[in-house]
Amino acid sequence: MKVGVIGVGYLGRFHAQKYASMQDVELLYVCDISEKRGEEVAKETGSRFIKDYREIASEVDAVSIVVPTNQHFEIAKYFLEAGVHCLVEKPITEHLYEAEALIEIAKEKGCILQVGHLERFNPAIRFLEDHVEKPLFIEAHRLSGFKERALDVDVILDLMIHDIDLTLAFVNSEIKEIRAVGVPVLSPKIDIANARIMFENGCNANLTASRISLQTMRRIRIFQPGLYLSADCLEQSNLMVTADLERPPTEAIVPRPISHERSDILMDELMHFVDCIKNGVKPKVAGEDGLKALEVAQQIKAKIQEGLGVYEECIGKKSF
């Protein structure tokens, strides 16, 4: 299988490295607006640097698109229309109509369209998938330090969208109501946000994301009848807590730490992409999943902007 990587900045470079190390996959091209960066990664991975991605569509079977979000639609559309399978980094696109269009083109052309919601391949999340049956309450914290390279989008599309995707995967219900708050702090966009998602089946999810934290955290906790589960996505570990009512009250709560062999989750994601292409099967995170996560993210952003409008009126500052 012949592949290319479009955009070899911080994350795109890792995509190129993983493809270059795979058997039965040949990394032919890397593309980037920076000739210096592109040449460096091409040399490192034994591939060829091309500045214009439109020059390679006839030569590759698949591409990873790892560019700023506002470029996802244009580039993915070009490759899908050329019959090239696409893995698009999250979020799938900037606008809902763009995501819908990509999904339709992929269907028409018989192409795989996978979205880079990386946490789905984390062993700790896979463990939750095997044990979560009827979640009643979900709490997620995703905190990171300030990084200038991610400022093309707000914290909702940058970080929270991971936990939005996971929540939607775990809860099989329509959304009843969304409440959200957030503010810009170190950038012009929202840097810290909290969202409460209430589902028709009674489940509630409380999601917090910050990119101005002094600590890094990626944890999700899920409560369901008779069971409490948590996942530490950084450590790739879990905690399972059950109740044994036959024990004395002080010993009734039984915690069980669970560790996993550490996994290269980006490699797992890309290998899954390749396998889906080879076998013609729908990916674990398809375009439709990316669309659902983006739709909820946009609703959360709208709720936050409503609150910022009130804030602006109170203190007389310009809109964020």
| 82-127 residue pLDDT tens | 999 999 999 999 999 999 999 999 999 999 999 999 999 999 999 9
Q: Return the domain boundaries, the chain.
A: 2-118+267-286, 120-260+297-308
Are 304 and 181 in contact, with CB atoms under 8 Å apart? Answer: yes
Quote the pLDDT of residue 275.
98
- The residues facing 31 across adjacent strands are 6, 50
Rounded CA separation 4/86 (Å): 10
pLDDT in tens, 156-214: 999 999 999 999 999 999 999 999 999 999 888 999 999 999 999 999 999 999 999 99
Examine residue 248 and say whether the peptide bond preceding it is cis (omega within 30 degrees of 0): no
How far apart are the C-alpha atoms of 260 and 211, rounded to whole Å? 27
Give the torsion through C-alpha atoms of 120, 137, 200, 89, to 10 deg.
-20
Of 161-165, 166-170, 298-302, 310-314, least confident by mean pLDDT is 310-314
How is domain 2-118+267-286 classified at the CATH fold level? Rossmann fold (3.40.50)
The share of the chain scoring above pLDDT 70, in percent, equals: 94
Cα 27 to Cα 62: distance, rounded to the nearest angstrom: 10
CATH code of 120-260+297-308, in short, is 3.30.360.10
What pLDDT, on the 0 to 100 scale, is given for residue 310?
52
The 10s digit of each residue's pLDDT in 30-81 is 999 999 999 999 999 999 999 999 999 999 999 999 999 999 999 999 999 9
pLDDT tens digits, residue range 230-264?
Answer: 999 999 999 999 887 677 766 668 889 999 999 99
Task: Say if residue 312's pLDDT is above 70.
Answer: no
d(CA 9, CA 60): 20
| Nearest C-alpha neighbor of 44 from the set 58, 32, 53, 55 | 32
Distance CA 312, CA 320 (A): 9
CA distance 145 to 142: 11
